[in-house]
């Protein structure tokens, strides 16, 4: 889970709309064109990654997510610190079965104040990516991390298979035959690539999770 650092001042489009429509909530806001502008700004500050799973997303395949759900916290529906962008939990591969939701749509109206979120400073250290594509807590007694995996459906079949497919491309069987120095050089080059924001302000899917995995492989032996 990549950490998201919110700006000190909320986007001007949100401020101006709230000023012009006092007392209104998100359900009112989403009827206006300013919603798409805000959606775009939030995507940009997240480097076009889903706030929960880290998949690369665009404005037409994502939604504005409320950490504290709209149904329970109406006064926070237009609170900038409560607004992120989540993927739509769409099917990434064909499973042959009915697809379960994940991320924001899986979370829905569920709220646990102790659940790990991408706004927490240590969120990148509390979840780790395994070679099989699944995500686990770095500490099995970390309630918040475990709840995040559960509430967000982070090990949904389509989601972990998408990560596994990328790992298989990134870390091939051939690499095991390389010298240790060659392996480390390759991993470092891939880390540099994954941490580089492209010309459109985007990072690639699961970049933070993959970087952590590669760093683990560098220092594990």
Q: Crossing angle, helix 207-219 and helix 157-170, to 10 degrees?
A: 50
pLDDT tens digits for range 82-125? 999 999 986 544 555 545 689 999 998 999 999 999 999 999 99
> Distances from the Cα of 126 to the Cαs of 4, 30, 46, 60, 136, in angstroms?
15, 34, 19, 30, 9
Dist CA 167 CA 161 (whole Å): 10
Report the pLDDT value the prediction gives residue 91, as an integer from 0 to 100: 55
Residue entry with tokens 């390389």: 178
Pairing of β 135-137 and β 62-66 = unpaired
pLDDT tens digits for range 57-91? 999 999 999 999 998 999 999 999 999 999 998 65
Report the pLDDT value the prediction gives residue 89, as an integer from 0 to 100: 84
Report the pLDDT value the prediction gives residue 69, as an integer from 0 to 100: 95
Dist CA 214 CA 129 (whole Å): 10
Report the pLDDT value the prediction gives residue 48, as an integer from 0 to 100: 98
Ranges of each domain in the chain: 12-219
Nearest CA to 42 out of 68, 74, 7, 94 is that of 7
Mean of pLDDT values over 123-134? 95
pLDDT tens digits for range 151-201? 999 999 889 999 999 999 999 888 989 999 999 999 999 999 999 999 999
């Amino acid at each position: 889970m990549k950490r998201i650092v919110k700006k000190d001042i909320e986007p001007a489009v949100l401020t101006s709309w709230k000023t012009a429509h006092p007392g209104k909530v998100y359900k009112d806001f989403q009827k206006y064109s300013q919603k798409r502008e805000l959606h775009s700004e939030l995507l940009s500050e997240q480097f076009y990654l889903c706030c929960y799973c880290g998949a690369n997303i665009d404005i037409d395949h994502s939604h504005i997510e409320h950490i504290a759900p709209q149904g329970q916290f109406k006064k926070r529906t237009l609170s900038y610190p409560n607004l992120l962008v989540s993927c739509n939990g769409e099917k990434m591969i064909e499973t042959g079965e009915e697809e379960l939701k994940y991320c924001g749509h899986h979370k829905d109206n569920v709220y646990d104040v102790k659940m790990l979120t991408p706004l927490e400073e240590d969120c990148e250290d509390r979840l780790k990516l395994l070679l099989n594509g699944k995500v686990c807590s770095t500490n099995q007694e970390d309630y918040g991390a475990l709840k995040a995996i559960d509430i967000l459906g982070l090990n949904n079949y389509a989601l972990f298979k998408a990560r596994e497919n990328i790992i298989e491309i990134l870390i091939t069987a051939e690499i095991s035959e390389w010298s240790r120095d060659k392996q480390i050089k390759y991993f470092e080059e891939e880390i540099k690539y994954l941490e580089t924001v492209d010309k459109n302000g985007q990072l690639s899917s699961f970049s933070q999770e993959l970087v952590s995995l590669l760093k683990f492989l560098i220092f594990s032996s």
